[in-house]
Amino acid sequence: MRPWNTMRAMAYGGAIGLGAAAVKSFAPWSDVASGAAIAKELIGATLAFALLCGLAAALRNVVQRRITGSELHHEQ
């Protein structure tokens, strides 16, 4: 199995976080917020989702290497 690309996972996670925050911020059922509050929400969600997805991809790669023992093959 190929390792997951953590940078790509972070990019996709950031896009998902940005989309989720945009829906939450601009939804018709939410209260009207100031521009600074909306910007903070968008930036925070983007960074949080990017970090979460990047860490999940890195953890998956570590677990996959441990299970398959591929690190032993790279040293030889």
Where along the chain do its domains lie?
6-75
Average pLDDT of the chain to the nearest whole number: 88
Q: Is the pLDDT of residue 2 over 90?
A: no
Q: pTM higher than 0.95, yes or no? A: no
DSSP letters spanning the chain: -PPP-HHHHHHHHHHHHHHHHHHHHH-TTSPP--HHHHHHHHHHHHHHHHHHHHHHHHHHHHHHHHHHTHHHHHH-
- What is the reported pLDDT for 17? 97
Q: How large is the average pLDDT for residues 44-65?
A: 96
